[in-house]
Structure 1
Amino acid sequence: MDLLTTGIKRNREKYTVEIKSSLLWEAALGIAAITNKDLISTLDLSEKDQGWIDQSLTKDMKDQLEYVQANNTWKTLLQILHEKDFEDLSSFSEYVKKLSSQELKGIAVPFLGTKAKALKNKLLNGSEEALKELQYITKDHVFLPTYLEFIYKVPTEKLKAHLIAVMSGWFKAIIEPNKGKLETILLRDKTLKEKMLNNFEPDQFVEWATDGVQYPPEPSVYKVLLIPHYIYRPWNVEADLEGVKVFYYAVANESITGEGRFVPNKLLVQKYKALGDETRLKILKITKESKVTLQALTTELELGKTTVHHHLKILKSARLISQNSNEYNIVDGAIENLPLELKHYLES
C-alpha cells in the first residue's frame, strides 16, 4: 500500500500499537482526500461515487473545500481530533468554539521534533523570526512552510468558523447518508486488526495492517496509532504527534465486502500464488542475497527481460519484493509474516 508522509523523519526504539476509529476521523480524512487534487484520480472511488459527492455538496461547502485546498486546514482538523475522543460532531464543534487563540494555534501547529518545541512556543507568542526558522526546518516538506504561515496569520475566529463549517458540512452531506455502511466497515476492520495484534511484533503488525509500510522502532516514539479509513483508499497517510507515530491506513478489502470467514485475504492469496513458481522463488533467493537490477536478473536466470519483468511485477504486486530506482530487493518482513498471516486465516 502506498504511503503519504505528512510527518518528519526522526532517529530509531520499541513501541506499542493502538487502533482507533470513528466517523469523525473518516470525515476529516475524506476532506483531506477530496481536496488533494494531485491524488484524487488515484483514489479507489468510482466515477459514480465522485459524481455523487460533487452533487451532494452545496455551493458554500464547495467554497469551504477550496479554502481547505488552499490552506491545508484538513491538517488542523486531524490535529484537533487527536486532542480527545469526541463522541459526535456536536462535541467536536463545541470543543473548537471554546478554544482560545493560543490553544487553537498550539494544536494546529504539528509536532516538528523536540528541538523545534521552543520555536513553536515563540511562534505562538507572535514571533515572526520563529516562523521563518520553522519554515526553514520544514523547507523540504510539501506543505508545512505555507501551512505554518497560514496558522500564524489567520484570525482565530475565522479559522474556528471554517473548521466547524467544513466538518459539519461534510459530515451531514457525505457521512450521514452512509453512516451505517461506514461504521460497519471501520468497526469490522478495527476488530480484524485487534484480533491479530498480539500475534506479531509491533513493527511486523504495522507492516501487515498497513499492507506494506515498514516502520522500525525509533527512540522518541513510544506508540504507533493506527486509524482506519475508507475514502482515502488505497493510500496510507503518515503523521507525527509528540511520542506517537500515526498511520491513517486504508481498510482491507474484506472489511468492505464483509465476506465470510472462509474467504481469505486477497493479498494473502496473491502472496502464495506468487510463491508457486520456480522462477519467482529463484528471484526471491537472488534478491535476498543482494539488491539486483533487471539486467542482472535476466543474466543470472538466462531468461528474456520481458519474462523476468513479468515475474517481478507479480512479486511486487504481492509485496514480496520492492523496487528502488532500478534495483530490486526482497521484503524480508513480508516473508517473515506469511506463516502468521496464514495461521490467523486458518484459526480465525
Structure 2
Amino acid sequence: MKVWNIGSERTTYEVQFAFSPLFEAALGIAVATYEQIHHTLEQPPAHWRELIEALPPAVQREVAYAKAHNTWKTLLHLLHQYRQQPFAELKSFLGYVRQLPEEELRYQALPFLGEAQQASRRKAAQGSSADRELLQAACRSHLFFERYIAHITSVDAEELRQHLLVLMEGWYQAHIEPQEERICRMLEREIAQKRGMQEKLDPEALVEWATGASYPPEPTVTRVLLIPQAVYRPWTVQADDAGCKIFYYPVADENLREQIDPYQPPQTLVQSFKALGDEQRLRMAKMLAKQELTLQELTEALQMAKSTVHHHLSMLRSARLVETSGTRYRLRSQALSQLPLLLGQFLDTDK
C-alpha cells in the first residue's frame, strides 16, 4: 500500500525549568503524610514522624487534615499559578492565596483531567453537583482524586483557605526557613547544570536525563516543566496542567553537596561506566541494541547461569542503560548516546 503523508512532521515539546523552596515545602508535606512510601525514601520513616512532631500543635492539626484530604495537592496546584517566575518567597504566595475569590480557589484546587473536562471543572467549582460527578467519573482509577474532588467541592472555601495558609506557613517556618539559603543554592546548582545541557540535548533526551524516564510527546502537551526537589528523592513525581506535563525530579547527587568538587564525577556517569566496564555486560548491551530479549533468551544466548545474567542486567538497569517492557529487556539507546556529552561536560576544564 502506498501512503502519501500530507500531515505535519512529528513535533516535540518545549522544556522549561522552575525552582523555589516553596515547592520543597509542599512536597515535604506530601511525603510526610504518605506513610506507605516512607520505607522507599532516602530518609528513614522516623525522620518524617520527627518532622511532624516538631511542628506547633496547631500546625500538626493541619498536617493531619492534609493527610486525610490530600490538600498538599492544592498547594502544588496554587504554586503553579505564577505568571513569569515561581513564587520566590512565602509572603508573596500567602498573599496570593488570601486574595483568591472563593470560586477561583476551588477551581485551581481541582485537578486538571484533560481539556474535555475543563468546563466541568469550572462548573464544579461553581457548585454543580452533576459536574462534580462527571469529574469523579473521569478519574475512578486514581488513588485519591475521587475523594479529593468530593472534599474540594463541598468544604467551606474559607475553611480551606485558612487551612492552606496555616499549613504552608507553619511547615515553611519550621522546616524550610532555617535552611532556606542552603536549599536555594542547591536548587540553583541543579538548574544551572541542567540548563547547561539544554542546548546540547533535544527536549526528550533532556527530560530523560533529568528524570530517568522517557516521555514521548503527546498531542495536547506543548510544554514540559522540570522542577527539581530533594525531599522526595529518589522518586520523580508527575503531575498535569493544561497543555503541560510537570516533573518534580530528584536533584542530582553532586548538586546536594554544598562544596562542589570539580574533580568529583557525577554518580550517574560513574554508574554508567562501571556497568559498561565488563565484557559480558557489553555483550548484553549489543544484543539488546539489536532487539528486545527475555531473561531466558539472554541466558541461552550467553550460555551463563540465569542468576549471573540477572545480576548483570540489574547493574545495567541501575545505571539506567537498560529497562524492561513486560518480561523483555531493552537497551535505552538514548541514555547511551548521552554518555559522551555527560563525559564532555565533566571533563570541561572551564568548570
Q: Which amino acid in 1 is paired with 2:66?
A: V
> Alpha-carbon deviations, 1:15-43, whole Å to 9, x = none?
11111111111111111111111112211
> Alpha-carbon deviations, 1:120-151, whole Å to 9, x = none?
12212222111111111111111111111111
1:7 matched residue in structure 2: none
2:245 matched residue in structure 1: 245
Q: Which amino acid in 1 is paired with 2:59?
A: M
2:33 matched residue in structure 1: 35
Distance 1:242 1:72, change over 3 A: same
For 2:132 and 2:178, the matched residues in 1 are separated by: 42
Q: Does 1:58 align with 2:43?
A: no
> Alpha-carbon deviations, 1:151-210, whole Å to 9, x = none?
110110000000001100100111112222212211111111111111100010011111
> Alpha-carbon deviations, 1:220-276, whole Å to 9, x = none?
122111111111111111111111111111100000124312211111111011111
Q: How does 1:36-185 map to 2 (within 5 A)?
A: 36-46=34-44, 49-50=47-48, 52-84=50-82, 85-185=86-186
- Cα deviation for residue 119 of structure 1 reads 1.5
Contact (CA 8 Å) 2:21, 2:176: kept in 1 or not?
A: yes
Q: Which amino acid in 2 is paired with 1:342?
A: L
1:267 matched residue in structure 2: 268
2:12 matched residue in structure 1: 14
For 2:326 and 2:223, the matched residues in 1 are separated by: 32
Q: TM-score, normalised by structure 1?
A: 0.92
The runs of 4+ residues in structure 1 deviating greater than 6 Å are none
Contact (CA 8 Å) 1:109, 1:148: kept in 2 or not?
A: yes
Q: Which amino acid in 2 is paired with 1:75?
A: K
Distance 1:149 1:78, change over 3 A: same
Q: Which amino acid in 2 is paired with 1:19?
A: F
For 1:90 and 1:22, the matched residues in 2 are separated by: 13
Q: Secondary structure at the match of 1:83?
A: coil
Contact (CA 8 Å) 1:13, 1:221: kept in 2 or not?
A: no
Q: How does 1:168-207 map to 2 (within 5 A)?
A: 168-207=169-208
Runs of 5+ in structure 2 lacking a partner?
A: 1-9
1:231 matched residue in structure 2: 231
Q: Does 1:326 align with 2:324?
A: no
Contact (CA 8 Å) 1:13, 1:218: kept in 2 or not?
A: no
For 1:239 and 1:301, the matched residues in 2 are separated by: 41
Distance 1:72 1:47, change over 3 A: closer
1:214 matched residue in structure 2: 214
Q: Secondary structure at the match of 1:235?
A: coil
More displaced, 296-305 or 32-41?
Answer: 32-41
Distance 1:47 1:239, change over 3 A: closer
Contact (CA 8 Å) 2:32, 2:52: kept in 1 or not?
A: no
For 1:206 and 1:95, the matched residues in 2 are separated by: 30
For 1:305 and 1:42, the matched residues in 2 are separated by: 27
For 1:140 and 1:48, the matched residues in 2 are separated by: 31
Indicate the structure whose relative CO is greater, using CA pairs within 8 Å and at least 6 residues apart: 1
Contact (CA 8 Å) 2:272, 2:321: kept in 1 or not?
A: yes
Contact (CA 8 Å) 1:13, 1:222: kept in 2 or not?
A: no
What is the total number of aligned residue pairs between the two structures? 336
> Alpha-carbon deviations, 1:73-101, whole Å to 9, x = none?
11110111111132421221121111111
More displaced, 180-189 or 19-28?
Answer: 180-189
Contact (CA 8 Å) 2:33, 2:67: kept in 1 or not?
A: yes
Identity of aligned residues (%): 41
For 1:293 and 1:332, the matched residues in 2 are separated by: 17
Q: Which amino acid in 1 is paired with 2:324?
A: Q
Q: TM-score, normalised by structure 2?
A: 0.92
2:24 matched residue in structure 1: 26
For 2:303 and 2:292, the matched residues in 1 are separated by: 18
Runs of 5+ in structure 1 lacking a partner?
A: 1-11
For 1:346 and 1:203, the matched residues in 2 are separated by: 24
